[in-house]
Structure 1
């Protein structure tokens, strides 16, 4: 049994590494960081293109599957989640996107003071070390390194011009004054290497004597004494261990939108009916734990290219592979330094219904049957389109009291009329760009869906049969006011009805942001640190 910690952080992912590093800056406190996965020692966790390897690695990835989704023709959908120091930031697609100003203003309007765009922008800036330097919207010296993609690709240039043809402006910054536009993404890379939160935050902090990091330590429950968290139970080397807080300490759950609600439910914090049905004594009846699940559903359009200029061509020949290796070794450029998606677009698929972009594109200069899959034998590229603000809501629910058993995961994709119409409109928008004058010289054929999918009904069926996650599950422990019966945490991320317990990860989002989730979660953790410190020094 380890005792006397001021903070026990569960989950060393996008939020947990930030919390552990920032809180341990104070030498007067002791911090324990627990991570179920191993240390991040594999080269594939640090090479940007390693995404293709870690996507299926059971060592560094939870390799989860949803329950059969009735809206997706009963399919179980693969949900990769990071299981190592750095969490999903160590295996993600590296794209640095914050979402829209309106997302955070909506958080505040839902009864969460302190979370408006003006409130959170300073934390985005604080966390960011953008190679372009500091500005009104960007940080130049923060821990999380953000870089331009080295070099340009004619397919991405053609995509941007094609988007302009249908009325979408070109942009060089999706995180500036306006998100709308088409252009190149910036990535969380630094000099050709991935910059996960383990690299950015945790690695520089590891030498501190007041920070203890336990990998291969699977949290199995929050220990409670009455209505106060006093520690965490966890399995290490198959043996149950316990870590106890010092008086006035806090447990900080940062295990992500799947495992945080699972851990709360295992600890007796959640919907009474579910807990009683699973034989879990009820410590706090919070019906919102595990509900309100939201995710971005991606629909992938695959194209055969007229020219051998794609990453498929390089990866499908020994000479091409050698050239990729030399590009990276000599100049830290090329596919090894980029990952998968280089370009993108934020636009309105239903302009009459949305004042801001409602879909996002990820454009890859390669093609495969799914993200991270084996590339096709022909020259290929991919347009992946997702709805930014889905109305569909799912849930996460434990199946038993066994912490090693994956929970029930039901996303309920495409369960509303708006989501279905946006999916179809998104595919049509992608086709419009592919059929533009700028793209025409590069498109030999549309492989998927293919010309036989022409009607709205056919395209919706294609989405049901082929849609997949873009890896952004969120909102399962949502933030909200006391008047919201489904709110799990308050605006200071404190779990309602339990002292000494907070949730700091994507599960605390009240609604999903309009874009990729890594940067927003880092921001949330930076802001949480300030709130935790303020509350620690404020008399009860």
Structure 2
């Protein structure tokens, strides 16, 4: 099998790339994805994110784990990652957040030339079809439908008021002129057309409509085991499809879009990465690239949850399940109601102290109880408030556990390994205590899960006992111009011709917010780079 471009990984970035590159009828594109097409009701119904994140349904979730984290009492963290077309955009809370403009300016300062905010904003707008219309900061003609929540719960407005009680003003657009404040998230959800109310994953927005093109081949339930290299050039991949092994060749380029964990894993399995590590596993070194698998970092999330005496929140009890069932019927008819909810309806961007120039904390407010990524179930009606530190200092690694492609990698995000992160998480916990105990939430406040005395020591002990990822790993194939960079600013792998990496792994540093919208932007830019290179530009 031979194509012009072979894309390994059909997640958010891979879906965008396959759709954009195949717009040119003169080139052929093959997309290889380990999961399925992700068109089923579990993906389409936003509220069913609660069934996907815990990872018991492995068809849509890799359900990975970290190595033991000393900063978290030696616990192994859980790392849900999407499996199937659309990747993690098929199992996330659909929140459309770009981060702070200064994040991208820092990328450029760190060596990612051409990735400053002014360079990236046009591509955010290109991807976006915002229901509020076009303006200086938003687009209205892109594939990705971005809309306001139609019928959020009353408690989400109470959360916004609780933030106001501690000095955090309302904000109607976290992607607007000012990120700071509390409000309702806009979501990547169909607000127009036959799929109204359904999740608008990257696959649903870009790829599913393109899959009838004769120049696009999509291989699902097919896992890339190795990139094929000849004379310093990527020429294809070995792909396992059931019991078959396929050789999928690329005339122009191989593009790795397997995510912050999968992309460095695949590079290392192919002999591209830190030489000593590869040799220790008996893998022949084809390109000693020490930055592969370095720079891993993620947002650490701390949660306070309460049961609720009110029933207008989610509860897995007979009454709550009956309400969910009725909501499912309304969602199928009108695309609205509880089944259309992202569950994480409210949010806030706050500064941990007045000295901070921009927000360094983010909140997600969920209209149900979240405990251990919903792996520990509670039948009570309730709610959860999450907080994370936006720009962690600690850096971890991803390494191979084995030369076997089906063996999960060793994921070490180094949570709280840096004392500065520990101090900021303590301040985050203090902020969370104030907001969750504020008067506007009193009508919904029942019994607290995991209560403590509120002292700094108790807050820190609770963070170490329960905090974990909020699902934003990045950085393991960092772009830049220094010797530790894995890809250059056009996302080409250093030292190997015909090979790029396009996904969240190329981010030099975490953005100040959720990572899906930035990943889609990166893929839009990458498609433009590839088209320009093809034309000799």
- TM-score range (shorter-chain normalised) is over 0.9
Distance 1:409 1:125, change over 3 A: same
Paired residues for 1:295-334 under 5 Å:
295-312=298-315, 316-334=319-337
Greater mean deviation of Cα atoms: 153-162 or 304-313:
304-313
Match of 1:67 in 2: 67
Greater mean deviation of Cα atoms: 111-120 or 152-161:
152-161
RMSD, aligned CA: 1.5
Paired residues for 1:65-104 under 5 Å:
65-104=65-104
Match of 1:202 in 2: 207
1:474-505 CA-to-partner distances (Å, cap 9, x unmatched) read 10000111xx2211011100100111000100
Equivalences, count:
530
Match of 2:341 in 1: 338
Paired residues for 1:455-534 under 5 Å:
455-481=455-481, 484-534=482-532
1:229-254 CA-to-partner distances (Å, cap 9, x unmatched) read 111111111222111122xx011110
Helix, strand or coil: the match of 1:66?
strand
Greater mean deviation of Cα atoms: 149-158 or 323-332:
323-332
Greater mean deviation of Cα atoms: 158-167 or 433-442:
433-442
- 1:350/1:358 contact within 8 Å kept: no
- 1:227/1:497 contact within 8 Å kept: yes
- 1:492/1:528 contact within 8 Å kept: yes
Match of 2:424 in 1: 422
User: Which among 278, 283, 286 is matched to residue 286 of structure 2?
Assistant: 283
Structure 2: runs of 5 or more not aligned: 191-195
CA distance in 2, matches of 1:329, 1:39: 21
Structure 1: runs of 5 or more not aligned: none
Helix, strand or coil: the match of 1:224?
strand
1:436-482 CA-to-partner distances (Å, cap 9, x unmatched) read 2322333234323x133x2222211211110111111110000111x
User: Which among 198, 217, 222 is matched to residue 217 of structure 1?
Assistant: 222
Is 1:259 the equivalent of 2:262? yes
Is 1:185 the equivalent of 2:185? yes
- 1:51/1:372 contact within 8 Å kept: no
Match of 2:441 in 1: 439
- Cα offset, 1:435, TM superposition: 2.3
1:80-121 CA-to-partner distances (Å, cap 9, x unmatched) read 111111111111111110100010010011112210111000
1:488-524 CA-to-partner distances (Å, cap 9, x unmatched) read 0111001001110001000000001111111000000
Distance 1:243 1:171, change over 3 A: same
**TM-score normalised per structure 1:** 0.95
- 1:316/1:377 contact within 8 Å kept: no
- Cα offset, 1:216, TM superposition: 1.0
Match of 1:35 in 2: 33
1:268-310 CA-to-partner distances (Å, cap 9, x unmatched) read 1000110111111111111010010011111110112242221
Show structure 1 runs of 4+ deviating over 6 A.
Answer: none
**TM-score normalised per structure 2:** 0.96
- 1:350/1:422 contact within 8 Å kept: no
CA distance in 2, matches of 1:123, 1:380: 39
- 2:81/2:87 contact within 8 Å kept: yes
Distance 1:109 1:315, change over 3 A: farther
CA distance in 2, matches of 1:136, 1:97: 16
Match of 1:349 in 2: 352
